[in-house]
Amino acid sequence: MSPDVTQDAVVIVPGIMGSELYDTVEKKVVWGLANPGWLVNAWTGAHGALRRLHLTPDEQEGRIGRVAARRLLTAPAWAPVLKGHEPYSDLVATATAAVAHPDAVLEFAYDWRLPVATNGRLLAAAARRHIEHWRGHQAHAWARGHRVDEREGRLVFVAHSMGGLVTLAALTGGHDYDLERDTRGVMTLGTPFLGAVNAAVILNSGQGSPVPLPHRRLRDLAVTLPGVHDLLPQFPCLDEGGDVRVPGTADIVALGGDPYLAERSRTFHEGLRGKRLPGHRAVVGINQSTLQSMTLDSGVVTGAEHSFRFNADGTVLRDRTTRLPHRFPVGGDGTVHKESASLRREIVPVSLQHGALAQGPGAMDAVMSFLKEDEHLGPSQAGGGLGLLVPDLVTPGSRWEIRVTGADSPKGITCTVQDADPTRRGIRPVRARLYGDDHDGLTASVTVPASGLYRVTVDADDGEPLTQLLLSAPGDQEDRREAAEIPGK
pTM of the model: 0.89
For the chain, give the mean pLDDT.
90
User: What per-residue confidence (pLDDT) applies to 350?
Assistant: 92
Cα separation, 243 vs 251, whole angstroms? 15
- Which of these, 11, 28, 114, 10, lies nearest to 70 by C-alpha position? 28
Q: Return the CATH number of the domain spanning residue range 1-384.
A: 3.40.50
Amino acid at 294: M
Query: For residue 385, how many other CB atoms are within 10 A of its CB?
Result: 14
- Range with the lowest mean pLDDT among 71-75, 122-126, 183-187, 383-387? 383-387
Which three-class secondary structure state does DSSP give residue 360?
coil
pLDDT digits 0-9 by tens, 166-198: 999 999 998 998 999 999 999 999 999 999 999
The predicted model gives 304-325 an average pLDDT of: 94
Query: For residue 124, how many other CB atoms are within 10 A of its CB?
Result: 21
Number of helices (H), then strands (E), belonging to the chain: the values are 13, 24
Q: Is the pLDDT of residue 489 over 50?
A: no
The predicted model gives 293-320 an average pLDDT of: 94
Residue 318 buriedness (CB in 10 A; 0-12 / 13-18 / 19+): middle
Q: Is the pLDDT of residue 484 over 60?
A: no
Q: Is the pLDDT of residue 111 over 60?
A: yes
Q: Is the pLDDT of residue 312 over 50?
A: yes
pLDDT digits 0-9 by tens, 391-416: 999 999 999 999 999 888 888 899 99
Give start and end residues of each alpha helix (H) in 212-360: 213-222, 226-229, 249-255, 259-272
How many angstroms separate the Cα of 244 from the Cα of each of 147, 238, 241, 310? 51, 5, 7, 11
Q: Is the pLDDT of residue 480 over 60?
A: no
pLDDT band at 1 (very low <50, low <70, confident <90, very high): low
pLDDT band at 84 (very low <50, low <70, confident <90, very high): confident
User: What per-residue confidence (pLDDT) applies to 486?
Assistant: 41
Cα 358 to chain centroid, rounded = 9
Backbone dihedral angles phi then psi of residue 69, each to the nearest 5 degrees:
-90, 120
The predicted model gives 103-130 an average pLDDT of: 97
The helix, strand and coil proportions of the chain, stated in percent and rounded to the nearest 5, come to: 30, 25, 45
Amino acid at 346: E
pLDDT band at 208 (very low <50, low <70, confident <90, very high): low
pLDDT band at 3 (very low <50, low <70, confident <90, very high): confident
Cα separation, 294 vs 239, whole angstroms? 6
User: What per-residue confidence (pLDDT) applies to 476?
Assistant: 61
Q: Is the pLDDT of residue 470 over 80?
A: yes
Q: Is the pLDDT of residue 384 over 60?
A: no
Q: Is the pLDDT of residue 362 over 90?
A: no
User: What per-residue confidence (pLDDT) applies to 462?
Assistant: 67
Residue ranges of domains in the chain: 1-384, 387-477
Residues whose CB falls within 8 Å of the CB of residue 176, separated by 6 or more in sequence, listed in order: 124, 125, 127, 128, 170
- H/E segment holding residue 71: strand 67-72
Fold of 387-477: Immunoglobulin-like (2.60.40)
Q: Is the pLDDT of residue 346 over 90?
A: no
Query: For residue 435, how many other CB atoms are within 10 A of its CB?
Result: 10
Cα separation, 448 vs 394, whole angstroms? 9
Q: Which of 40-49, 121-130, 471-480 is modeled with the greatest confidence?
A: 121-130
pLDDT digits 0-9 by tens, 150-168: 889 999 999 999 999 999 9
